[in-house]
Amino acid sequence: MFDLEFRCWNISALVLGLKAWLAKIGVPGVSPACTCGNNRQTLIHVLAFCPDQTEARIKLLARAGTTQIGRLLQSKETASIAGRWLLDTGLLEQFRVAQEIEDTSMGEWAPFNAINATH
């Protein structure tokens, strides 16, 4: 793994405001509103207030011991837990493909087949 959760959490916590941020930078067709009806979907809203994320917050609290952003960012361990949690909510659509790739079992797949050089 490439510490995807940790990287996504840091990007999300420090840069992306979820839909609110995407709308602010002018991503076409993106409304800043949360799925719960709140006028802005921000990280603080999702972590502390969004009724759509109540069950997810309970899981985050059980895994990380907190939902307070400052405490979540205090260590790589809790930031990784929070990053995985945020990815698992499905709210970060821009990271969905990366998560699908990570979740895909590659089995015996290899990037290149051996080439037989004898002609």
Instruction: Classify each residue of 90-106 as buried b or exposed e, where b means 16 or more C-beta atoms within 10 Å of its C-beta.
Output: ebbeebeeebeeeeeee
From first to last of the 119 residues of the chain, give the pLDDT tens digit: 446 665 665 555 545 658 888 888 888 898 999 999 999 998 888 888 999 999 999 999 999 998 888 888 788 888 888 888 888 888 877 666 666 766 776 677 666 666 666 65
Cα gap 21→41, rounded to integer Å? 8
Is the distance from CB of 82 to CB of 9 less than 8 angstroms? yes
- The angle, 0 to 180 degrees and rounded to 10, between the axes of the packed helices 4-14 and 96-103 is 170
Residue 70's pLDDT is 80
Quickly tell me which residue has 């907190």 as its tokens: 66
Residue 92's pLDDT is 79
